[in-house]
Structure 1
Amino acid sequence: MFNKNKNFNLLSLMLVALTIAYLSVAASFQKIRPESVQSFSFTIDGRERNYLAYVPKNFADAQSAFPVVIVLHGGGGPMGNAEMMMETSGWAQKSEREKFLAVFPNGTLRDPGKPVELKGNIQEWSDGSGRSYAEQNGVDDVAFINMLIDDLFVKFPADKERIFVTGFSNGASMAFRLGVELSGRIAAIAPVAGVFSNPPSALNSPVSLFYISGSEDKRPEISTSKNPFNTSILEDKRPQASPKEFSSFSQNPVALWAQMLGCPGPSKASLKDRNVRTIAYAPCRGNSEVVTYTIEGMGHVYPGARTELWEEGADNPANDIINATDVAWDFFKTHKKTSVQSLLHNDQCQIFRERNEKIKCWEKALTDELKERGLEASFLLFKELYNADQDFAGECHAFTHLIGTEAYNLFKNNKDFSVPAVVSFCNYGFYHGFMEALLTTGGNIEEARKFCAYIDEKLAGKNPESPEQCYHGIGHGNAGVHDKRLWGNADAIITQGLKICKFVADTKDRLYRCASGVYNAISDFHTKGEFGFSMDMIDMEDPLKICSEQSKEYQEPCYGNMKSVVSTVTGGDFKKVTAIVSKIPDIHNAEVTMWYLAGYNMNTKLYLKDYSSDIAICRSAPSDLYFPCIRGLATGFLWYATPEEEYKGALNFCALDTLLSEERHACFLEIIPRLSFYYSYTKVMEICETKLVPDAWKETCRTKQLNQKINSN
């Protein structure tokens, strides 16, 4: 008997399944909301120029400035003008999901009196090659885009530090030109299948490059005055690069761009998903980066575009190996424009050949910025200098210590003194310096405790670890150095310091943090030769002897915080560090010390791409220290990696192919719960949903917020 309800339910399920399947395929090409598309025009050089702007929903409610992606159409074909580029590329939909402003300018028609065509009367850009009608007739598209950017700042809350340019074919070639001639305004470019015409010898300001091309694209990638592809009859007055200037690189746009940015040699070419060859150059000047994807077997197309719109007989149909829009945005969102001011500071300091002279120059720059523009501005400069120079990054904790010392003067003289969450940079050295200044220049313990209460109130939600590190700072600052009678007497200073810690700490965890600060200070006094101490007072055979002499409750914070002494004794040799730790008689103390020292070991190694030697040392350690060592290496990224992006380094380390499966497990088990101490709950939830967290760990990431504080410094 026919059952109408049963068959209806079956049909409904089939329709639902088909709908889900359709949506999964068409997700990146959902319909564009017409109300989000706005059209603008203005006149420049006597020509009316226009562009479309896709404004995401809730744009008006934005609490901060939006990134801008300028998307340049190709010369003819299915991406031949602004509207077609918006319809086919997926940038408008990406804008809606990721909340940035997508802008689609129009080039110049060969015959402005006739409608645009896929072939024939096409719209083109003056890309520097000399091939286009626009260039041969004196159209200045660089000036057009420059004025367009000005127009955006008037009409929208656009972020001046996050202006990006991408484009296809002729539009990609124009992106190259804009990256050179508007380098002071653009943070990064992502050309797809373009020509780099007449490359200059250098960029005035760093601009990162992400280039996508097909291995079967027959169009040349470099156009110069000697290249027959360049049919220009116009004189190019830009500074030209001689062949000798690029003698160390092959003639391709990526290598040329890398040399203009002063990048080191490329990483080894690798295959992504077996069909995409990748090459990367980093670190480059001003924290810039150069990356290329070459798609095997692909011709002159925009990968991931709406394939049904490509005309029959194209070089190669667009394919689904990658989506150019997705990968370009992933690249863009990790790059911001380094400020002219930070570049100026860094350039001024780079004239010094001696490392110590550079450090003094950077210290002055940070101090001047703090006094002139405030604490947050000083940390912004700090972040940019960190990204610009490996030597600066290697001393980052000391620089935050300096900022803390200088900031105390603002605190004691300014009732409206405000501490931003960024003071957490580079393992909270700010609190060390601040408390040392407070307790040695007339402040008292009660004032220190009130300051930590202020930090607890203001920053606990944004950076849960900050209040605890403030107590570590109290221990670091109150280590008796203001009483000259105690100089050179470690036992007396420790006794006095721990007494104050017991008085000031209101929880067991904060007592631990405060005590760890005392021992941290003792270690630094020895290595720096301060307050009557020197390395001559350390037993080179047993540099941790002082810790074995402490009462049991203070042995752990002592062992874990004599880091600088151990590093000095071993000359930074991690294998020797491991040997010293293996001599600690108490297994628990040895495990904690191994974790601390492995993390400290990463302070000067984070710029490396290969950590296999350190991993090998962990594997050769005694069995009890093996996993604490691996976990410590990963934690070092949270302490010292790129400010505000520390989690990326840690999670990428945990995902290394060179790690064994049990090592990766131990690594993720350490890092994922620890995220909740360095970032707000909202930020942790965002991190959980990124590709950095493997699917198998996402549920743990969403739910494993540790309630009990982890001892970390």
Structure 2
Amino acid sequence: MRTIRATGAALGVLMVMAACDAKPEAAPPSPTPTVAASSASPSPRVPDVPRGGDQTISLDVGGQARTAQAHAPAGFKPGMPLVVAFHYYRSDVDTLRRMTRLDTKADQKGFIVVYPETIISGFNAMDCCGDYDDVGFVKALVAHMIEVWQVDRRRVYATGISNGADMTFRMAVEAPGLFAAIAPVSGGFTGWRATDPAFKPSEPVSVVTFIGGADNADVFNGGLAKWRSRVRCTASAKGVYAKAITWTRTHCADGSDVVDYQIGGMEHRWPGGTDVGLGSPETKINAVDVMWDFFVAHQLK
């Protein structure tokens, strides 16, 4: 179980939460990617109609009712990219949306965001939470978005924070050929699943990640080093993004890229977010802007 990161009076509460969560919260069409089938073929319980705006997507996955919230620009059209966004433990979709302003970015840049909803307030990610088939749910959800919403299967991405960030790493490994890139924020390739040397992506998935220097960075850096080792990445460049913010870029044997932003002084937060939930508006880097530029530069072949 990971080290608890919290300050002040919230520490006592977060220590209790740690029993369930590893991290308490305060870049012509191509062939269909290989996706392992879930225990049952997903089918919409309530038909959703691809269009601009917000709506709920309801699926039956292995006999379990699951839902997600979707946002598309007013000028929706087939062939748009898709970003899957995972909230943190003990949080919800509404908080993530207001904190990150991903919907606003989607309207500006022309992509769709879909926010999976959890059953127990946390995703079954790298070392927690619960035993629900969240991997199967996300596979079914993305398959639905490809089939019904006709998103560009070459440009499917994922992001999330904390437990949600962990979930992006698990999806990158267990849904080969589905995601072109992931952007974990304040999360890592750690936990009991990462202890297995065979647990690594079989298809290239590029990674851009944001790590706070005051957020147990040793744990996260260790996990990222493990990821780089397993996909055989070689350091190629380092630089300074802004005062107290540095970055490292590596290129990997499978053709993927891994870029991490080290944000000195930042705790367990979403850099450049609003002052909601774990948002950190004072940080001199906006995670959504940086990750979108990274996503644009990466797509499946």
For the aligned pair, the TM-score class normalised by the smaller chain equals 0.7 to 0.9
Whichever residue aligns with residue 193 of structure 1, its letter is: S
Instruction: Tell me the matched-pair count.
Output: 246
Give yes or no for the alignment of 1:328 onto 2:291: yes
Whichever residue aligns with residue 123 of structure 2, its letter is: W
Q: Look up the match of 1:274.
A: 243
Alignment map for 1:45-56 (pairs within 5 Å): 45-56=62-73
Q: Look up the match of 1:126.
A: 124
Whichever residue aligns with residue 285 of structure 1, its letter is: A
Distance 2:84 2:158 in 1: 5
Whichever residue aligns with residue 117 of structure 2, its letter is: N
Distance 2:249 2:293 in 1: 15
Whichever residue aligns with residue 155 of structure 1, its letter is: V
Superposed CA deviations along residues 101-121 of structure 1, whole A, max 9, x for unmatched, are 111111122xxxxxxxxxxxx
Give yes or no for the alignment of 1:195 onto 2:163: no
Alignment map for 1:559-574 (pairs within 5 Å): none
Contact 1:190 1:209 in 2 (8 A): yes
Q: Look up the match of 1:148.
A: 141
Percent sequence identity over matched residues? 29
Q: Look up the match of 1:255.
A: 225
Q: Look up the match of 1:37.
A: 54
Contact 1:83 1:104 in 2 (8 A): no
2:119 to 104, 108, 112: 108
Alignment map for 1:565-644 (pairs within 5 Å): none
Q: 1:83 to 1:219 in 2, by over 3 A?
A: same
1:177 to 151, 170, 176: 170
Distance 1:219 1:211 in 2: 12
Whichever residue aligns with residue 276 of structure 1, its letter is: I
Superposed CA deviations along residues 662-708 of structure 1, whole A, max 9, x for unmatched, are xxxxxxxxxxxxxxxxxxxxxxxxxxxxxxxxxxxxxxxxxxxxxxx
Q: Look up the match of 2:213.
A: 215
Q: CA deviation at 1:86?
A: 1.5
Whichever residue aligns with residue 89 of structure 1, its letter is: T
Q: 1:254 to 1:186 in 2, by over 3 A?
A: same
Whichever residue aligns with residue 293 of structure 2, its letter is: D
Distance 1:287 1:56 in 2: 31
Distance 2:134 2:218 in 1: 22
Q: 1:98 to 1:318 in 2, by over 3 A?
A: same
Distance 2:254 2:88 in 1: 30
Distance 1:204 1:268 in 2: 25
Distance 1:271 1:219 in 2: 18
Q: CA deviation at 1:299?
A: 0.2
Give yes or no for the alignment of 1:75 onto 2:68: no
Whichever residue aligns with residue 201 of structure 2, its letter is: L
Q: CA deviation at 1:318?
A: 4.2
Contact 1:301 1:318 in 2 (8 A): no
Q: Look up the match of 1:433.
A: none
Q: CA deviation at 1:163?
A: 0.8
Distance 1:188 1:256 in 2: 18
Distance 2:218 2:237 in 1: 23
Q: Look up the match of 1:99.
A: 110
Q: Look up the match of 2:13.
A: none
Q: CA deviation at 1:186?
A: 0.9
Distance 1:152 1:268 in 2: 36
Q: 1:66 to 1:286 in 2, by over 3 A?
A: farther
Alignment map for 1:80-91 (pairs within 5 Å): 80-91=91-102
Superposed CA deviations along residues 3-53 of structure 1, whole A, max 9, x for unmatched, are xxxxxxxxxxxxxxxxxxxxxxxxxxxxxxx96011111122332110011
Bigger fraction of residues in helix? 1
Q: Look up the match of 2:179.
A: 186
Partner of 2:257, secondary structure, is strand
Contact 1:43 1:49 in 2 (8 A): yes
Which contiguous aligned blocks of 4+ residues in structure 1 show a shift greater than 6 angstroms? none
Whichever residue aligns with residue 72 of structure 1, its letter is: F
Alignment map for 1:518-597 (pairs within 5 Å): none
Distance 2:166 2:76 in 1: 31
Q: Look up the match of 1:285.
A: 253
Distance 1:280 1:317 in 2: 24
Q: CA deviation at 1:286?
A: 4.1
Partner of 2:225, secondary structure, is helix
Q: CA deviation at 1:275?
A: 1.8
Distance 2:216 2:226 in 1: 19
Superposed CA deviations along residues 52-107 of structure 1, whole A, max 9, x for unmatched, are 111111113x5xx111100101112xxx2122212221111111111011111111
Q: Normalising by the residue count of structure 1, what TM-score does the alignment of the two structures yield?
A: 0.33
Bigger fraction of residues in strand? 2
Highest RCO, 1 vs 2 (Cα 8 Å, sep ≥ 6): 2
Contact 1:212 1:324 in 2 (8 A): yes
- State the Cα RMSD in Å: 2.1
Contact 2:245 2:262 in 1 (8 A): yes
Superposed CA deviations along residues 389-423 of structure 1, whole A, max 9, x for unmatched, are xxxxxxxxxxxxxxxxxxxxxxxxxxxxxxxxxxx
Distance 2:282 2:117 in 1: 26
Unaligned runs of 5+ residues in structure 1 are 1-33, 110-122, 223-250, 339-713
Superposed CA deviations along residues 348-391 of structure 1, whole A, max 9, x for unmatched, are xxxxxxxxxxxxxxxxxxxxxxxxxxxxxxxxxxxxxxxxxxxx
Give yes or no for the alignment of 1:160 onto 2:122: no
Q: Normalising by the residue count of structure 2, what TM-score does the alignment of the two structures yield?
A: 0.76
Contact 1:36 1:55 in 2 (8 A): yes
Q: 1:220 to 1:273 in 2, by over 3 A?
A: closer
Q: CA deviation at 1:127?
A: 0.6
Distance 2:280 2:59 in 1: 36
Whichever residue aligns with residue 186 of structure 1, its letter is: F
Distance 1:219 1:259 in 2: 18
Q: CA deviation at 1:139?
A: 0.5
Distance 2:163 2:271 in 1: 16
